Amino acid sequence: MLLWDRGMLWGFLLLLSGAVGQRVIFPGNVTVNYPGPVCAVKGSTVTLHCTFTPHKSFIKDGREYPLRIIKVVWCKNHEICQGSTPSVYDSESDTNNPRYQYLGDKKGNCTLQIRDIRREDNATFRFRMETNHSAGHHTVTSGVKVTVIDDPQMTIISSRNQSLIREGQTETLLCISSCSFHQLEVTWFRDDHALSESGPALQLGPLTAEDSGNYTCGLKTNSKTRSRPYELRLEAAEEGIKLNYLTTVRLVLFTAHTVLIIIVVSIIIKRTCVRRTGTKN
């Protein structure tokens, strides 16, 4: 649902009452595409991907005039998002909170990034655009709901979906949660010893015997989120080589045995034929 400015609403009422005034026609509707509800972990960085299609022009007294966006705003827990409404980002302000960074532009991208998510960010965020004429001012009231949680339970999943793999292969372990989030810093452990990696994806490989063990992960800022152990077992490469070697030897012996039988049978047949020939003579 789109909210009009008071000046726009007042002009519309004047037209309804038959008063003489400027005749303004608003072509089409502004559309803003917000992401669905977002679940964010406290302390993480979340990106609210957003796109919009603004009015390109407006018609007044039979003439069409172009519209140009001059201001973009993000606010939270307010349906109008204008005037004295506190904003988290205002393109015309020099005192924006650095936790909120506008990654968009004034053409069609309205993406907002929130760093170091806090409990106060548990809110509905809305985007507003303002143009060089009030005909293009709009706030989309649907917004995007952000839910902040403190202690999500982490889980480890494997890219191979199997715990037994061979040495020399590669493996990626993902530290995930039922709460969707982005750019979350986690701590990885192998047999309760902390690893240097801090991203949600732990890439291993080429794997060696030292990579075997029980892996766990948890939020870097909260030890209570530690996951259950994920056991990674490696099949020694020597075992695979030994198996291949034995198979090859068996194949060679079988082939040699078969050839030997054929040779012996050929010799016997040849001698039998010679004897029969000598007897007839």
For 126-135, how does the pLDDT look when each residue is reduced to its tens digit (9 = 90+)? 999 999 998 8
3: pLDDT strictly greater than 50: no
Burial of 152 from C-beta contacts in 10 A (0-12 / 13-18 / 19+):
buried
Give the model's pLDDT for residue 89: 97
Residue 79 has pLDDT above 60, yes or no: yes
48-57, 88-97, 121-130, range with the lowest pLDDT: 48-57
Cα 274 to the chain's mean position, in Å?
82
In contact, 88 and 76? CB cutoff 8 Å: yes
Rounded average pLDDT over 121-145: 90
> Is residue 117 a contact partner of residue 40, using CB atoms and an 8 Å limit?
yes
Q: Which residues of 31-56 are buried (b: 16+ CB within 10 A; e: fewer)?
A: ebebeeebbbbbbbbbbbbbebebbe
Amino acid at 155: T
More confident residue, 206 or 20: 206
Give me the mean pLDDT over the 262-272 stretch. 62
Residue 232 has pLDDT above 70, yes or no: yes
Q: What is the mean pLDDT of the chain?
A: 78
What is the average pLDDT across 159-179?
Answer: 83
Over range 256-269, report the average pLDDT. Answer: 63
| Residue 27 predicted with pLDDT over 50 | no
Of the two residues 65 and 24, the one the predictor is more confident about is 65
Q: Go through the domains of the chain in sequence order and give each one's CATH number.
A: 24-149 (2.60.40.10), 154-235 (2.60.40.10)
H-run or E-run covering 148: strand 144-149
| CA 185 to chain CA mean position, Å | 15
Higher pLDDT, 112 or 138: 112
**Per-residue confidence band for 272, with pLDDT thresholds at 50, 70 and 90:** low
Percentage of residues in the chain with pLDDT exceeding 90? Answer: 39
Q: How many CB atoms lie within 10 A of CB 108?
A: 13
Q: How confident is the model at residue 45 (pLDDT cuts 50, 70, 90)?
A: confident
Is the pTM for the entire model greater than 0.75?
Answer: no
Any idea which residue has 């005909």 for tokens? 135
pLDDT higher than 60, residue 28: no
Q: What is residue 16's predicted lDDT score, i.e. its pLDDT?
A: 32
